[in-house]
Amino acid sequence: NAMTDIDRAKDAQILARIAPGPEATDRFPVSNPATGDQIAEVADMGAEDARQAIARAAAALPAWAAKTARERAAILRHWHDLILANQEALAVLLTREQGKPLIEAMGEVAYGASFVEWFAEEGKRAYGDIIPTNAAGRRLLVLRQPVGVVGAITPWNFPVGMVTRKVAPALAAGCTIVLKPAEDTPLCALALAQLARDAGIPDGVLEVVTAARAEPIARVLTDSPDVRKLSFTGSTRVGKLLMAQCADTVKKLSLELGGNAPFIVFDDADLDAAVTGAIQSKFRNAGQTCVCANRLFVQAGVAEEFAARFAAAVEALSVGDGMETGTAIGPLINAAATAKVDGLVRDAVSKGARCTLGGGAHDLGGNFYAPTILTGVDPSMEIADAEIFGPVAPILTFETEDEVIARANDTPYGLAAYFWTRDLGRAWRVAEQLEYGMIGLNEGFISSEAAPFGGVKESGIGREGSKYGLDEFLELKYFTMGGL
């Protein structure tokens, strides 16, 4: 075990602060995906706990919404500062419950904090409007008001970033929120909630409901008429279920779902930069992000050269416990995830794909999977359509621009797409024709709190981050004043 005493102390210190409430009798274990060791037990809450959390959030709403944006901003700003002051302790906790390399965890905590800072500022700019009147003696106004109590369900791949990306804009808009974090990674959410309390966020404004089973909690959130908005990040399968469940109460919805990102390398690309971008996009978080390159399309003329340089770069990535210095790829989140990735690789190989690197469990065993490159992937293989969510890179070749655009768009998903070219005309043509919510030209890393994150087609509804992200938590109210 590579943890130092300092790491352990930081971990213990933050874990001690987030011990689950004494009222919780049922607990479930949280384990380290790198070692299998149990790190902590947290409250295993049920439907009644969720109802109580909603009631507290509803009770806290009027006072929170009545605060001025500036007052809310000051508290959020304080939360942001506390997150950064605890960056290392949070990062250690993140790596231990999620597995990603510590350096990525440090980056994620900073990224997570950036949403709190951004929305603290943006909340002050939730301007209404005055419309030129349509009749004498009348005035037309538009107010923007908080939607009300928000329900949020977050995934395990970014245990800090996905939480702040929903909680910060909700709170900045004047909403209160009930958060159900992923069962694999509840600790960062609990730690963030503790820091929120320390920052002065009042009781009931941010409620965290941890549970080993998501369904009963989600059902209470979707059925409750008090919950006016649901914000979900996770799989397309669960997103569709939640969308259907929200129909009865006609909730406002934000869904950030799966992706099947094309990563296109044209023959005029800067190949070394494209390789660097591909490594960043494909292997960050061991390939477990919804914007990870899922299909590498390389134009025939440079396919061999790209494949050689890419393979050399992938071979240099070191796999290990995220706490170890130099680790580039940590474990996958759990045994089921590892089995799923391996199943996709086996299916592809059985149907004729060639494995030029990796192709199975890593020597470290457990949840570690060897970085893998597949060539000769064709549409008959499951991996051609599936969201891989692992360190596996399928390389496909193409001949023409029109062909690759058609193939890139031939998927129900539409989250992120990347392409590499130095031709300005092509840059515009391709960017405009790719049916995706986010496009990276000559960039493998596109996320920022300042930019709108989200997808089209079955990748979701709504945007997170940026000036647009606040709108998801605000309703427009048209206000006519007559008899003037």
**CB-wise, 78 or 165, nearer to ligand ADP?**
165
Contact criterion met (CB below 8 Å) for 417 and 438: yes
- The footprint of ligand ADP on this chain (CB under 6 A) covers a number of residues equal to 14
Shortest separation between residue 447's beta carbon and ligand ADP, angstroms:
17
Position among 194, 235, 249, 280 found at the interface with ligand ADP (CB under 6 A): 235
Position among 32, 87, 154, 289 found at the interface with ligand ADP (CB under 6 A): 154
Position among 20, 146, 151, 155 found at the interface with ligand ADP (CB under 6 A): 155
- According to CB under 6 A, which residues from 312 to 341 bind ligand ADP? none
Does 182 sit near ligand ADP (CB under 6 A)? yes
Position among 30, 53, 153, 162 found at the interface with ligand ADP (CB under 6 A): 153
User: Among the candidate windows 101-109, 151-159, 270-278, 474-482, which touches ligand ADP by CB under 6 A?
Assistant: 151-159
**CB-wise, 242 or 302, nearer to ligand ADP?**
242
**CB-wise, 146 or 258, nearer to ligand ADP?**
258
What are the structure tokens assigned to 69, written together? Answer: 């944006």
- 256 catalytic? Reply is yes
**CB-wise, 50 or 293, nearer to ligand ADP?**
50
Shortest separation between residue 244's beta carbon and ligand ADP, angstroms:
11
Shortest separation between residue 34's beta carbon and ligand ADP, angstroms:
18
User: Among the candidate windows 53-61, 153-161, 365-373, 408-416, which touches ligand ADP by CB under 6 A?
Assistant: 153-161
Position among 123, 186, 234, 262 found at the interface with ligand ADP (CB under 6 A): 234
**CB-wise, 76 or 211, nearer to ligand ADP?**
211
Shortest separation between residue 258's beta carbon and ligand ADP, angstroms:
8
Does 215 sit near ligand ADP (CB under 6 A)? yes
User: Among the candidate windows 57-65, 147-155, 160-168, 305-313, which touches ligand ADP by CB under 6 A?
Assistant: 147-155
Shortest separation between residue 308's beta carbon and ligand ADP, angstroms:
33
User: Among the candidate windows 11-19, 106-114, 167-175, 214-222, which touches ligand ADP by CB under 6 A?
Assistant: 214-222
Position among 2, 55, 241, 441 found at the interface with ligand ADP (CB under 6 A): 241
**CB-wise, 216 or 366, nearer to ligand ADP?**
216
Does 248 sit near ligand ADP (CB under 6 A)? no
Shortest separation between residue 365's beta carbon and ligand ADP, angstroms:
22
Residues 6+ apart with CB under 8 A from 480: 138, 139, 140, 141
- Number of residue whose CB is nearest ligand ADP: 234
Which one of the listed residues 97, 207, 256, 472 is annotated catalytic? 256
What's at 124, amino acid-wise? Answer: K
**CB-wise, 111 or 232, nearer to ligand ADP?**
232
Does 415 sit near ligand ADP (CB under 6 A)? no
Position among 81, 88, 121, 183 found at the interface with ligand ADP (CB under 6 A): 183
Contact criterion met (CB below 8 Å) for 459 and 414: yes
Binding mask 443-482 for ligand ADP (x = CB under 6 A): ----------------------------------------
CA angle 177, 181, 187 (to 5 degrees): 115
Shortest separation between residue 142's beta carbon and ligand ADP, angstroms:
34
User: Among the candidate windows 176-184, 296-304, 419-427, 439-447, which touches ligand ADP by CB under 6 A?
Assistant: 176-184
Instruction: Kindly report the length of the chain.
Output: 484
Shortest separation between residue 174's beta carbon and ligand ADP, angstroms:
25
Shortest separation between residue 412's beta carbon and ligand ADP, angstroms:
16
Residues 6+ apart with CB under 8 A from 323: 1, 2, 3, 7, 34, 92, 95, 96, 102
Contact criterion met (CB below 8 Å) for 278 and 293: yes
Strand partners of residue 419: 264, 441
Does 223 sit near ligand ADP (CB under 6 A)? no
* 3-state DSSP of the chain: CCCCHHHHHHHHHHHHHCCCCCCCCCEEEEECCCCCCEEEEEECCCHHHHHHHHHHHHHHHHHHHHCCHHHHHHHHHHHHHHHHHCHHHHHHHHHHHHCCCHHHHHHHHHHHHHHHHHHHHHHHHCCCEEECCCCCCCEEEEEEEECCEEEEECCCCCCCHHHHHHHHHHHHHCCEEEEECCCCCHHHHHHHHHHHHHCCCCCCCEEECCCCCHHHHHHHHHHCCCEEEEEEECCHHHHHHHHHHCCCCCCEEEEECCCCEEEEECCCCCHHHHHHHHHHHHHHHHHCCCCCEEEEEEEHHHHHHHHHHHHHHHHCCCECCCCCCCCCECCCCCHHHHHHHHHHHHHHHHCCCEEEECCCECCCCCCCECCEEEECCCCCCHHHCCCCCCCEEEEEEECCHHHHHHHHHCCCCCCEEEEECCCHHHHHHHHHHCCCCEEEECCCCCCCCCCCECCCHHHEECCECHHHHHHHHEEEEEEEECCC
The order of strands in the sheet holding 139-146 is: 129-131, 139-146, 474-481
Residues acting as catalytic residues: 256
Binding site for ligand ADP (CB under 6 A): 153-155, 180, 182-183, 214-215, 218, 234-235, 238, 241-242
